[in-house]
Amino acid sequence: MTPIARADPESLRPAVTHHGWQLDLTGYVQADAVPWDQGSVDELAPGTNQPLNQERFVIPRARLRAEARRDAVSASIDLDGNTLAGATARLLGAQVGWTYALDGEPLVTVSAGLAKIPFGAEVPALERDKPFLEPPAMSRGLFPGAYDAGAQVQGRYGLARWAFAIMNGAPVGDAQWKGRDPSASYDFVGRLGAEVRAPRRLRFEVGVSALTGRGLHPGVTPTKDDIQWVDDNQNGRVDATEIQVIPGSPGEPSVSYAHNALGADVAVHWCVCALGQGTAFFEAAIATNLDRGLIYADPVAAGRDLRQLGIAAGVVQDLGDHAMVGVRYDRYDADRDAMDREGALLVNTHQVFSTLAIMASGRWHDARFIVEYDRQRNPFGRGDDGAPTTRAADRVTVRAQVGF
């Protein structure tokens, strides 16, 4: 699946055994420093009044996981703390599960709770093991927060890997609903894959993913009559003719709409004796009305379906036992049918987010030190030619991570 930063083989963890239950406590802390960010200014964002400074020390993730097992039954709790928007702590994941094993292999695991969304390779992967600092824009747009509540079945048999889930369809990072499910409908999501081992220590992973479900366009509650001043003659004074009555509205009902996605992922792992393990990966997804993180896709408000397309590809390579380098390019078009004005004409444009991430890291046991340069593109600026262009956002991030 997703390339994994190699750590020490699993050893004895601090564990407590009580009434037949084995409790494991694990966790990790990431401490970031951003010494240079092209988009950082000592100003407040108009509208939100939030600071625009990005050159700072920040804790993006400080996570603690408690996992209890007794025979085939298990439960886990993941807690997350961060300082991205001020110090905060929250419940990140919580699951109960039952596993049926065959010949020591977990053939089927049934679980319910707040868990990773099983779509593609990047979204379900654990953040502590990812070689790059942050997920690609495709994942941040389509599956913001990566966690959703629901019930899941996953397992493996021979070459086959599967994971299917019924979920609320409201990821924890949903920009509008903030993880609260606004509708009674569920999202059906899953990934079917295979893992093939080949000669010369090659290993291939492939998978296809799909999602279908419904989102909700929020209605409007009834409003009262109101008055508004429009300074028609712009003299700065209220004249009798400038007072308008804004009549109250009886409200509008909320409307649900369909959203769906298809994805494919492939990864090749190798091992070069002198250097160590390496991985090349590629992932792509097409979606309709699914963006919930970057450019919110609401087809009712837009009056048309919003189609998304995202890809991510990269290579990571160990350099001996204590170093790794990698590069990843991702590109995400949040609205493939977007229009922009060009003089008297409306022309097609693309709301593209892309990042070229160049990473180098060192490791010692479960500690990692990562330096990453992200060259980012976005659709938020406007250039001298009047066309949408990138608002400068390149950055360098230094991260220290310690797991336990």
- Please identify, using beta-carbon distances, which residue of 165 and 359 lies nearer to another protein: 359
Q: How many CB atoms lie within 10 A of CB 185?
A: 15
Least spacing, CB of residue 351 vs another protein, in Å: 15
Least spacing, CB of residue 373 vs another protein, in Å: 7
Provide the token pair at 395: 């950055």
Classify residue 30 as exposed, middle or buried by CB count within 10 Å of its CB (0-12, 13-18, 19+): buried
- Please identify, using beta-carbon distances, which residue of 264 and 393 lies nearer to another protein: 393
Provide the token pair at 372: 């990453």
Least spacing, CB of residue 54 vs another protein, in Å: 9
Least spacing, CB of residue 67 vs another protein, in Å: 39
- Please identify, using beta-carbon distances, which residue of 78 and 374 lies nearer to another protein: 374
- Please identify, using beta-carbon distances, which residue of 205 and 372 lies nearer to another protein: 372
Categorise residue 128: left if φ over 0, alpha if ψ from -120 to 50, beta otherwise. Answer: alpha
Least spacing, CB of residue 384 vs another protein, in Å: 4
- Please identify, using beta-carbon distances, which residue of 35 and 219 lies nearer to another protein: 35
Classify residue 141 as exposed, middle or buried by CB count within 10 Å of its CB (0-12, 13-18, 19+): buried
Least spacing, CB of residue 65 vs another protein, in Å: 34
Question: Rounded distance, CA 154 to CA 165, Å?
Answer: 8
Least spacing, CB of residue 41 vs another protein, in Å: 5
Question: Rounded distance, CA 123 to CA 103, Å?
Answer: 29
Provide the token pair at 163: 């994971």
List residues binding another protein (CB under 8 A). 36, 38-41, 43-46, 49, 52, 231, 234, 236, 340-344, 373, 375, 380-387, 389-394, 396
96: β partners:
75, 112
Least spacing, CB of residue 98 vs another protein, in Å: 47
**C-beta separation of 120 from 207 below 8 A:** yes
- Please identify, using beta-carbon distances, which residue of 41 and 210 lies nearer to another protein: 41
* 403 Cβ contact partners less than 8 Å away, ≥ 6 residues apart: 7, 26, 27, 28, 128, 366, 367
Least spacing, CB of residue 5 vs another protein, in Å: 24
Nearest to 172 by CA among 64, 293, 255: 293
Least spacing, CB of residue 341 vs another protein, in Å: 6
Taking the CA atoms of residue 243, residue 249, residue 255 and residue 259 in that order, the dihedral angle to the nearest 10 degrees is 10
- Please identify, using beta-carbon distances, which residue of 10 and 42 lies nearer to another protein: 42
Question: Rounded distance, CA 63 to CA 66, Å?
Answer: 10
What is the 8-class DSSP label of residue 330? E
- Please identify, using beta-carbon distances, which residue of 289 and 378 lies nearer to another protein: 378
* 42 Cβ contact partners less than 8 Å away, ≥ 6 residues apart: 51, 52, 53
> Taking the CA of residue 3 as centre, how many other CA atoms within 13 Å lie in the half-sphere pointing to its CB?
29
